[in-house]
Amino acid sequence: MNIDDNDTIAAIATPPGNGGVGIIRISGDLVTRIAEQLFKKQVIPRSAIFTSFLAEDNSVIDSGIALYFPAPASYTGDDVLELQAHGGAVVMNMLLKRVLSLGARLARPGEFTERAFLNNKLDLAQAEAIADLIESSTEQSVRSAQRSMQGVFSEQINFLITELTELRIYIEAAIDFVDEEIEFLTDGIVENRLIKLLQRLEEIQRTAHQGRLLRDGMTIVLAGKPNAGKSSLLNALAGHEAAIVTDIAGTTRDVLKERIQIDGMPLHIIDTAGLRESANRVEQEGIRRAQEEIRKADKVLLLIDIRDSDTQLLDSYIPEGMDITTIKNKIDLLNKEPEIKNTESGTQIYLSVKTGAGMNLLIQHLKESVGYNNTGENIFIARTRHLEALKKGHEFVQNALIQLQTNLASELVAEELRLAQQALAEITGEFTSDDLLGKIFSSFCIGK
């Protein structure tokens, strides 16, 4: 992607519809010329001027405020002019049409932020955080997006890249001095630095995973036998009667999804058909869909009637390696107190969905499962692509450590570190394909 220096873009930067104020943003080399023809006044850098916006015949389209930010001290890094007029849809369209007639073209979605990225005003992770801030649905996700915008995430990634660069230089120096290479690789310095890199990567991965959950929400699947209380739990978490609840086994035949928030933490709760052997074709399809949702879940809440001692059948429906919390429901029927246990097989929570006893334990457990922190001080917004890049970087560094420990192969160690560096650099955009940039910025709103 290359910026055309003669290309000036414009767009309405406020939401469609009527409002007190509407903003049109213009960026490019024609900004000052457009200003001269639009309101016949000289623009003053970083100063607001009240003026009339004129049509081609010098009639007044509207009156408002003009703000001029000369390059490079602007959002995009190019000359930028913002026009604040009355926010009527017709007024905004008339004013935009006039700006376009003066030589600007309509901006693509995200093109202002794309120019800021290409002009090195911000990196790709910061650019994505801008879109995430606009789309944030909770206060904590807003705070986390702000941290990413301010470069907290990028700083951590750049620290890792710097460490990888220095380590590559150290190793490649050994390659240049063949006689000393073995001693160079066996003195423990490279191994210790690789181990510390892996630890730092794992720490950032955990934080980024929570940031991804804050952005996208944690997906929780309710699974278990028929009549274990899955639909009742969905209703309790959602705060309304989202699912039909009856004493008839197999009432839920399809997947039912609810998006909720718990203390600002977004959750996607999915109720599924009861897991059991069945000859009913409709129920079989419901169970198949339940297994499909289980495989995609961030966490599975496995509900079991506390009176049910035969639960082995459930194991065949849930893949190994899933994050599972077992909910022993209906403790009120045995007069048992609420309790949470951490066992070798995982967390078990004893509660009663019907009476609400122990629900507070479940809520706290869900918050802790994603490392929930109601201040958001240590969290930054992250996307799935960031997690994938961190995972690849971790794998390459791990491979480098293996090559060092087993083969003392300096060339292979250096190559793995190069691949790790490239994977991490994809996060900030130092190494990023044009196709990926197009996909990222096309998801932005117009005018941003």
Q: What is the pLDDT of residue 176?
A: 66
Domain at 424, CATH number: 1.20.120.430
Q: In what order do the strands lie in the sheet with 19-27?
A: 48-54, 60-69, 80-87, 19-27, 9-12, 105-106
Q: Tell me the CA distances in angstroms from 134 to 127, 130, 142, 143, 387, one per residue in order.
A: 11, 6, 8, 12, 21
CB atoms within 10 A of CB 59: 8
Asked whether residue 411 is assigned to any structural domain, the reply reads yes
Q: What is the pLDDT of residue 231?
A: 84
Question: Which residues are CB-neighbours of 371 under 8 A, at least 6 positions away?
Answer: 206, 207, 210, 379
Parallel/antiparallel/unpaired status of strands 324-329 and 80-87: unpaired
pLDDT in tens, 57-114: 999 999 999 999 999 999 999 999 999 999 889 999 999 999 999 999 999 988 999 9
pLDDT in tens, 338-397: 999 988 878 999 999 999 999 999 988 888 776 565 545 567 778 888 999 999 999 999
Tell me: do 238 and 365 sit in the same domain.
Answer: yes
Q: What is the pLDDT of residue 183?
A: 61
Paired tokens of 12: 């309405």
Sign of torsion over alpha carbons 150, 156, 162, 164: negative
Paired tokens of 433: 């394909």
Tell me: do 361 and 409 sit in the same domain.
Answer: no
Paired tokens of 234: 């969905």
pLDDT in tens, 226-239: 888 888 888 888 87
Tell me: do 236 and 361 sit in the same domain.
Answer: yes
pLDDT in tens, 113-128: 999 998 999 888 888 8
Tell me: do 146 and 283 sit in the same domain.
Answer: no
Chain centre to alpha carbon of residue 75: 23
Q: Partners of 427 in the beta sheet?
A: none
Tell me: do 275 and 319 sit in the same domain.
Answer: yes
Q: Crossing angle, helix 124-135 and helix 410-428, to 10 degrees?
A: 40
Q: Which of 4-8, 91-95, 145-149 ranks highest by mean pLDDT?
A: 91-95
Q: What is the pLDDT of residue 99?
A: 95
Residue 238, sorted as left (phi over 0), alpha (psi -120 to 50) or beta, turns out to be: alpha
Asked whether residue 435 is assigned to any structural domain, the reply reads no
Q: What is the pLDDT of residue 370?
A: 66
Q: Whole-number mean pLDDT of the chain?
A: 84
Tell me: do 98 and 40 sit in the same domain.
Answer: yes
| Closest of 221, 220, 230 to residue 329, by C-alpha | 230
Tell me: do 243 and 189 sit in the same domain.
Answer: no
Tell me: do 72 and 179 sit in the same domain.
Answer: no
Q: Work out the percent of the chain whose per-residue pLDDT is above 70.
A: 88
Asked whether residue 447 is assigned to any structural domain, the reply reads no
Find tokens 């052997």 and name the residue. Answer: 277
Q: Work out the percent of the chain whose per-residue pLDDT is above 90.
A: 38
Tell me: do 35 and 112 sit in the same domain.
Answer: yes
Q: For the chain, give the secondary structure using H, E and C.
A: CCCCCCCCEEEECCCCCCEEEEEEEEECCCHHHHHHHHHCCCCCECCEEEEEEECCCCCEEEEEEEEEECCCCCCCCCCEEEEEEEECHHHHHHHHHHHHHCCCEECCCCHHHHHHHHCCCCCHHHHHHHHHHHHCCCHHHHHHHHHHHCCHHHHHHHHHHHHHHHHHHHHHHHHHCHHHHHHHHHCCHHHHHHHHHHHHHHHHHHHHHHHHHHHHCEEEEEEECCCCCHHHHHHHHHCCCCCCCCCCCCCCCCCEEEEEEECCEEEEEEECCCCCCCCCHHHHHHHHHHHHHHHHCCEEEEEEECCCCCCHHHHCCCCCCCCEEEEEECHHHHCCCCEEEEECCEEEEECCCCCCCCHHHHHHHHHHHCCCCCCCCCCCCCCHHHHHHHHHHHHHHHHHHHHHHHHCCHHHHHHHHHHHHHHHHHHHCCCCCHHHHHHHHHCCCCCC
Q: What is the pLDDT of residue 62?
A: 94
Asked whether residue 286 is assigned to any structural domain, the reply reads yes
Paired tokens of 193: 């630095």
Residue 433 pLDDT greater than 70, yes or no: no
Radius of gyration of the chain (CA): 28
Question: Which residues are CB-neighbours of 304 under 8 A, at least 6 positions away?
Answer: 224, 225, 228, 311, 314, 326, 327, 328, 329
Asked whether residue 284 is assigned to any structural domain, the reply reads yes
- Rounded to whole angstroms, the Cα distance separating 137 from 145 reads 11
Residue 1 pLDDT greater than 50, yes or no: no
Tell me: do 334 and 229 sit in the same domain.
Answer: yes
Residue 250 pLDDT greater than 80, yes or no: no
Can you give the residue range of the structural domain that contains 78? Answer: 9-119
Parallel/antiparallel/unpaired status of strands 299-305 and 218-224: parallel
Residue 298 pLDDT greater than 80, yes or no: yes
pLDDT in tens, 413-423: 889 999 999 99
Among candidate residues 328, 345, 369, the one where a domain is terminated: 369
Tell me: do 320 and 393 sit in the same domain.
Answer: no
- Rounded to whole angstroms, the Cα distance separating 228 from 296 reads 22
The one-letter amino acid code at 306 reads I
Q: Which of 15-29, 104-118, 200-214, 310-324 shows the lowest mean pLDDT across its residues? A: 310-324
| Closest of 151, 297, 171 to residue 222, by C-alpha | 297
Q: Which of 29-33, 141-145, 203-207 ranks highest by mean pLDDT?
A: 29-33
Q: What is the pLDDT of residue 46?
A: 93
- Rounded to whole angstroms, the Cα distance separating 71 from 3 reads 14
Q: Partners of 19 in the beta sheet?
A: 87
Asked whether residue 440 is assigned to any structural domain, the reply reads no
Number of domains comprising the chain: 3
Residue 408 pLDDT greater than 80, yes or no: no
